[in-house]
Structure 1
Amino acid sequence: MSVHHHVQPSATTPDADLARWDDDGAPPAQPRSSPAAWLRVGAELGDRLVALSGRQDLIVICRPGTRSGAPAAYFPRLAEVEFDARLFAPLQPHEVRPRIVGDEERYPAAWGVLVHEAAHASHSVWEEPAGADPRVVEAALLLEESRVEGAHLVRRPTDRTYLRISARTLVMPDIASPSFQGFEHAAGVAALMLGRRDAGILDAGETQAVADLCQRVLGADLLATLTGIWTAAHRCADHDATTMLAHAQDWCDALDTAAPDLPPAPQDLTDLLSGAVAVVLDTMAANDAADLAARSAADDAVAARSRAKVQDRAEQAGRRRKAAATAKSVFNPRGTTVSPDGRPAPSGNPVTGTRRPTAAEQSAAARLSRALRAAAYRERTEERTTSPTPPGRLNMRQALARDAQRAAGAVPTAEPFTHTRRRNSPTPPLRVGIAVDISGSMRVACGPVASAAWIVANAAALTDPDSRTATIAYDHDLTALTRPTHRAPERVTEFNANGGAHNLGDAIDALDHGLDLSRPGTGRLLVIVTDAIYTPDETTRALTRIKRLTTAGCAVLQLTLTKNSRHLPGTTPLHLPRPASAPAAIAKAATDAIRRTR
């Protein structure tokens, strides 16, 4: 059984501190630090003990060595926990800050012992009656070790890791220096190790070495009887001294009854038990290290995801700021062409002038406006409710059912009046952005796209005052042909295509920010008129923006007018052999976009 009890009936005299040192003629041993330096550590441990034990009347005395000889002990009558400062080795007092939550991770063994003593302070509240048999009390204290840890684990399951560490710190000294010999020693080891297994502190696989050795020494029947006793003790109430001592009496009776039939214990039983416990502790250490590695990996993964989210939010904010700056520079009131950095482009403006819209373009705008209004129309929604009283339409069947319920003396539940509420569904506005490639290979698109931009802008303005459209011509630089205002352009803006490089990525950013193409709630459409003969870098930048828009629910249409055109992945391709059909194709795509809006 245990040589040290972690619940002490009373404090020893101060002279016991001096008696611990053997006078062998050598100078008295000097602690590495002054005991007074540990007073602050003890006070901070006492503050943390409030949460561990649920009690506010406890104090912790921390100093090198203890009066009881155990690493720590709890004195119920003094409401005091005695704590050996050497558990913090190699840390010095100024390096230990228990008041800081999380500092205990630097000294898990010491913290585990404190958690064990907190379990005693919370649950070892039964008192030894006067005249009790010392052997029975000894057995009760032995059973108490795993009982209080199991009870503490129910209250604070996250302390299991520290209770496992405390088992490595507290149990091995008790095994190596037993107060009983023979099979009683084996029974005590079983109570300390296998009792913690059944309390949920240790795993069954970890304690297999001790279980096999105890079964060989005690026999399967006696071990099963002892297992039943400590399992029953785990269910004992904290204040029930009678039941706890009854279990202890059963323990002693079981040992006395089985003693004549047990074979002699091995001469080296202490060494065998110490070896088995060492195997258990090594297995525990390996499992704890594996669990710690797994938790560290999981924490690292969570931290990596958190950093990725933070970085992604920062990148999104950066993209929004850049898109806002691009949109502000492109949709400038002067109508100038801007370079990717937002400054006026030195290469000139592709706009060649403006003209009055033709009669055919005006008719096309009117037809598109009617089509958009028809596509945006939403049926009124109906909501029907019933009630026991007017207003509403009377349902005679429900009225008769209500009268029958009332006549039968039951509480009427029928609701004979039906009220229908009709609500108009909001008409979604339209957002259409057109990006037209003005490199030299796209000259055939200039006239049709200029006409389409005017037609779509005027049709959207006639459909809904909140609808907006915009058109950007891009090569290396960007030029706004129509702007995202609520007023439709009065004249058609004509342009030519003599550019070289392509900057579709910035054009999409400007249209996205100016028209809110990434925001749900409107009919959103991006039309890209291009042959997509780009460099790999230009294509990558464009595809990144296109994927972001399609993910947000914006329809993206690519119009191609030449046979050697390439398809931009993520867009809906539409090849037009006759460039003059581009306005009709864009109008149909806009109508489909607003029809799909919910």
Structure 2
Amino acid sequence: MSAQLHHHVQPVPPALTEAEREAHRWEDDGGLIPEPRPSAQSDHWLRIGAALSQRLPELTGRHDVIVTCQHGTRSGAPAAFYPTSADLEIDAALFAPLNPATIHPARHGDEDRYPVAWGAFVHEAAHAAHSRWNTPAPLLGTALDKAGQVLEESRAEHAHLRRRPGDRRYLRATIRTLVLDDFTSQTPTDRWQAAYAAGLILARRDAGVLDPDETETLETTVTGILGPDLLQTLTGIWTAAHHTGDEDEKTMMEHARAWCQALGTEPEAPEPVPDPASGRKGELAEAIGKVIGHVRANEAAQAAAEAQVAAARTARAQAKATQAQHARQAAKIAEKVFAPGGRPYTPGKPANSRRRSPVTGTRLPTSGEKAAAGQLARALRAAAYRERTAITTASAAPPGRLNMRQALARDAQRAAGVTPTATPWTHTVHRPSPTPPLRVGIAVDVSGSMDAATSPIASAAWIVAKAAALTDPDSRCATVAYDHAITAITSPGRAPRHVTQFSARGLGHSLAEAIDALSAGLGLAQPGAGRLLVVASDGLYAPHEADRAAERITALRQAGCAVLWLAFAPDPQPLPGATLLELTDPAQADAAIGQAAASALGKANA
């Protein structure tokens, strides 16, 4: 195992490279230092390093640290922090396989595209913010120094997560980079190496980076090497280190010394060298590999769950936006349909396009129609009736009905010398429940196939509209006739005085737009009232007309609006979601419509 690989905090500046030495010698001899000729790749890595420098203060609170990103680091580790010079290095290889031109760390959220590189950056940022102590110079390279390093790894991350718990996912993503390279198939399985693995992995479990189920394999392996008592001792040491201050060098050295003593290692001596003749090799690497596999599996499951939640959230947002857009379109249609003058409106065509109205005149209602309207109004009032609510309260004094059990309990409390809490008197108050008003929209088919049913449909439309107006002053009703165009027969809130007669010679069926107009004009999709849509038609529509209208009916049903389909011809084809009522006499509609209204009022949120 190479200790240098895992020494992310370098107490001394890194040694100069050979190229840097040559440059210094050339400069000392008076030579001009040639300006490097940057490539496109190097320019991007310079930009990325500058962007990471801009993001670092939000992770550390420090503004003096310079981040460089290039292929390889001077320390040999995937990432390193130099406290003496306030330099932070990131190996560009951690961003693979992304093209550096597409990497923009300055954009918040871009880090999700390269969690491993960002995790290494977060780890070094944790050192920059919290690793404020150093091993004394005479002890560098000793077992005491190495023990302090391993304790500092999880201590810095533990301190960082207390400030920024959201960075946990990035630390988990980079765990392989920070740990696994230190253990290979040739790493001997001795006590020092087992303790080192425990300090890197199990300590991160207790720091909140890893989950207990992910580290079970390694814990079993390390327990078999160290024994449960020694492992418990080491656990106590790193737990105490997690609660040690950032600048408390003395206490951290004491923890490191206790670590060495627990393992029987001389603190001031060099780090124990693995015995190459050891027969057990690679056991720790295999166990750590399983830990990393569990971490990846859990992260993948978490990512899938988050993706599902995000997809559901996006779908809800899109559905809400679509619903809002549809509501705006419906309001525009209602404005044009119920505009003064009662001119037909053809969806998809200019408002000033001339279209012949299907209305041929009006007549006074007959006595039978008036009687049917009165009967339906009474049925609607009965459907709208709400039983009074009973509210029962208990008290210590009358008026009310005496509860003997509570009275005896009160006497016993007095006899015991305690403050009586029993309430022997009950009083019931009956309060009337508010009755919701009624909203009724009527859509009458005036296409050519309905020519024989124009008279009963006109009569039924008047009966329903008149009955709704008689039920409650706040009730509202509106009627439209539709073929390819839509014509307002009665506008919302206007009670019909006469029966409107019309001809049925049109083409096409704009039922979807007719429902939109009625829904927007009356609020059929809004709670707070009993809502009913009545469609009078034979249902002989083209497939695209039927599908669009069926979507509107389904949406209204889901919103609590009842839908009644009146048919006056044999073999009707009502759309899904509507309650079919076949009639030959309009006067028969009062009972059926009353039942439909009762269902609507029962769903109203008054």
**Distance in 1 of aligned mates of 2:399 and 2:136:** 78
Q: CA deviation at 1:157?
A: 5.2
Counterpart position of 2:260: 248
**Distance in 2 of aligned mates of 1:302 and 1:505:** 33
> Does the CA-based 8 Å contact 1:190-1:211 persist in structure 2?
no
Q: Does 1:266 align with 2:277?
A: yes
**Distance in 1 of aligned mates of 2:156 and 2:397:** 63
Q: Does 1:588 align with 2:600?
A: no
Counterpart position of 1:432: 440
**Distance in 1 of aligned mates of 2:406 and 2:56:** 70
> Does the CA-based 8 Å contact 1:196-1:202 persist in structure 2?
no
Counterpart position of 1:545: 552
Q: Does 1:478 align with 2:489?
A: no
> Does the CA-based 8 Å contact 1:323-1:506 persist in structure 2?
yes
**Distance in 1 of aligned mates of 2:9 and 2:327:** 68
Counterpart position of 1:53: none
**Distance in 1 of aligned mates of 2:19 and 2:181:** 17
Written as runs of structure 1 = structure 2, the 5 A alignment for 1:11-50 is 44=54, 47-50=57-60
Q: Does 1:325 align with 2:332?
A: yes
Q: Which amino acid aligns with 1:232?
A: G
SS at match of 1:431: strand
Pair 172,430 (structure 1): closer, same or farther in 2 beyond 3 Å: closer
> What is the RMSD of the two structures over their aligned residues, measured on CA atoms?
5.1
**Distance in 2 of aligned mates of 1:144 and 1:222:** 18
Q: CA deviation at 1:506?
A: 1.9
Tell me the alpha carbon deviations over residues 393-442 of structure 1, each in whole angstroms, 9 at most, x when there is no partner. Answer: 66565455334424423232122443433321112222222222223332
TM-score by length of 2: 0.74
Q: CA deviation at 1:284?
A: 7.9
Out of 203, 213, 232, which is 2:236 matched to?
232
Counterpart position of 1:460: 468
Counterpart position of 1:409: 417
Pair 142,492 (structure 1): closer, same or farther in 2 beyond 3 Å: closer
**Distance in 1 of aligned mates of 2:101 and 2:506:** 72
Q: Does 1:517 align with 2:524?
A: yes
> Does the CA-based 8 Å contact 2:459-2:586 persist in structure 1?
no
Q: CA deviation at 1:364?
A: 2.5
> Does the CA-based 8 Å contact 2:161-2:168 persist in structure 1?
no
Range moving further from structure 2, 414-423 or 342-351: 342-351
> Does the CA-based 8 Å contact 1:326-1:342 persist in structure 2?
no
SS at match of 1:559: strand
**Distance in 2 of aligned mates of 1:153 and 1:289:** 22
> Does the CA-based 8 Å contact 1:339-1:476 persist in structure 2?
yes
Q: Does 1:373 align with 2:405?
A: no
> Does the CA-based 8 Å contact 2:81-2:89 persist in structure 1?
no
Pair 74,192 (structure 1): closer, same or farther in 2 beyond 3 Å: farther
> Does the CA-based 8 Å contact 2:12-2:82 persist in structure 1?
no
> Does the CA-based 8 Å contact 1:525-1:557 persist in structure 2?
yes
Q: CA deviation at 1:536?
A: 1.1
Counterpart position of 1:567: 574
**Distance in 2 of aligned mates of 1:452 and 1:42:** 74
SS at match of 2:535: strand
Counterpart position of 1:259: none
Q: Which amino acid aligns with 1:475?
A: D
**Distance in 1 of aligned mates of 2:428 and 2:219:** 75
Q: CA deviation at 1:466?
A: 1.0
**Distance in 1 of aligned mates of 2:136 and 2:312:** 59
**Distance in 2 of aligned mates of 1:98 and 1:496:** 69
Pair 504,589 (structure 1): closer, same or farther in 2 beyond 3 Å: farther
Q: Does 1:420 align with 2:428?
A: yes
Out of 298, 313, 319, which is 2:320 matched to?
313
**Distance in 2 of aligned mates of 1:334 and 1:416:** 68
Counterpart position of 2:495: 488
**Distance in 2 of aligned mates of 1:158 and 1:133:** 34
Q: Which amino acid aligns with 2:234?
A: W
**Distance in 2 of aligned mates of 1:92 and 1:451:** 74
Tell me the alpha carbon deviations over residues 86-130 of structure 1, each in whole angstroms, 9 at most, x when there is no partner. Answer: 568889999998776445557656644454345557776788799
Range moving further from structure 2, 560-569 or 154-163: 154-163
> Does the CA-based 8 Å contact 2:337-2:486 persist in structure 1?
yes
Counterpart position of 1:141: 148
Pair 188,101 (structure 1): closer, same or farther in 2 beyond 3 Å: farther
Range moving further from structure 2, 236-245 or 80-89: 80-89
**Distance in 1 of aligned mates of 2:215 and 2:496:** 85
Q: Which amino acid aligns with 1:190?
A: A
Q: CA deviation at 1:227?
A: 4.2
Range moving further from structure 2, 230-239 or 468-477: 230-239
Pair 592,345 (structure 1): closer, same or farther in 2 beyond 3 Å: farther
Out of 46, 60, 65, which is 1:60 matched to?
65
> Does the CA-based 8 Å contact 1:453-1:471 persist in structure 2?
yes
Tell me the alpha carbon deviations over residues 45-69 of structure 1, each in whole angstroms, 9 at most, x when there is no partner. Answer: 652343xxxxx67953556999988
Q: CA deviation at 1:569?
A: 1.8
Q: Which amino acid aligns with 1:429?
A: P
Pair 69,61 (structure 1): closer, same or farther in 2 beyond 3 Å: farther
TM-score by length of 1: 0.75
Counterpart position of 2:270: none
Q: CA deviation at 1:314?
A: 3.1
Q: CA deviation at 1:280?
A: 8.0
Written as runs of structure 1 = structure 2, the 5 A alignment for 1:48-87 is 48-50=58-60, 60=65, 62=67, 71-73=79-81, 82-84=87-89
Q: Which amino acid aligns with 1:252?
A: G
> Does the CA-based 8 Å contact 1:39-1:62 persist in structure 2?
yes
Written as runs of structure 1 = structure 2, the 5 A alignment for 1:82-481 is 82-84=87-89, 101-102=108-109, 104-105=111-112, 111-117=118-124, 119=126, 137-138=144-145, 140-141=147-148, 143-145=150-152, 147-148=154-155, 151-152=158-159, 155=162, 158-164=166-172, 168-169=176-177, 187-198=191-202, 199-200=204-205, 220-222=224-226, 227-237=231-241, 238-239=243-244, 240-241=251-252, 242=254, 244-252=256-264, 265-266=276-277, 277=285, 301-340=308-347, 341=349, 343=351, 346-388=354-396, 398-399=406-407, 401-481=409-489
> Does the CA-based 8 Å contact 1:557-1:573 persist in structure 2?
yes
Q: Does 1:505 align with 2:509?
A: no
**Distance in 1 of aligned mates of 2:437 and 2:415:** 56
Counterpart position of 1:258: none
Range moving further from structure 2, 57-66 or 556-565: 57-66
**Distance in 1 of aligned mates of 2:182 and 2:333:** 76
**Distance in 2 of aligned mates of 1:597 and 1:365:** 23
**Distance in 2 of aligned mates of 1:96 and 1:330:** 54
Range moving further from structure 2, 203-212 or 164-173: 203-212
SS at match of 2:573: coil
**Distance in 2 of aligned mates of 1:506 and 1:93:** 53
Q: Which amino acid aligns with 2:434?
A: P
Q: CA deviation at 1:465?
A: 0.7
Range moving further from structure 2, 235-244 or 115-124: 115-124
Q: Which amino acid aligns with 1:196?
A: L
> Does the CA-based 8 Å contact 1:434-1:527 persist in structure 2?
yes
Identity %: 43
Pair 581,223 (structure 1): closer, same or farther in 2 beyond 3 Å: same
**Distance in 2 of aligned mates of 1:205 and 1:476:** 66
**Distance in 2 of aligned mates of 1:388 and 1:206:** 61
Q: CA deviation at 1:249?
A: 0.5
Pair 439,284 (structure 1): closer, same or farther in 2 beyond 3 Å: same
> Does the CA-based 8 Å contact 1:143-1:191 persist in structure 2?
no
Pair 87,167 (structure 1): closer, same or farther in 2 beyond 3 Å: farther
**Distance in 1 of aligned mates of 2:179 and 2:382:** 83
Counterpart position of 2:248: none
**Distance in 2 of aligned mates of 1:338 and 1:8:** 76
**Distance in 1 of aligned mates of 2:102 and 2:322:** 41
> Does the CA-based 8 Å contact 2:59-2:125 persist in structure 1?
yes
**Distance in 1 of aligned mates of 2:20 and 2:113:** 30
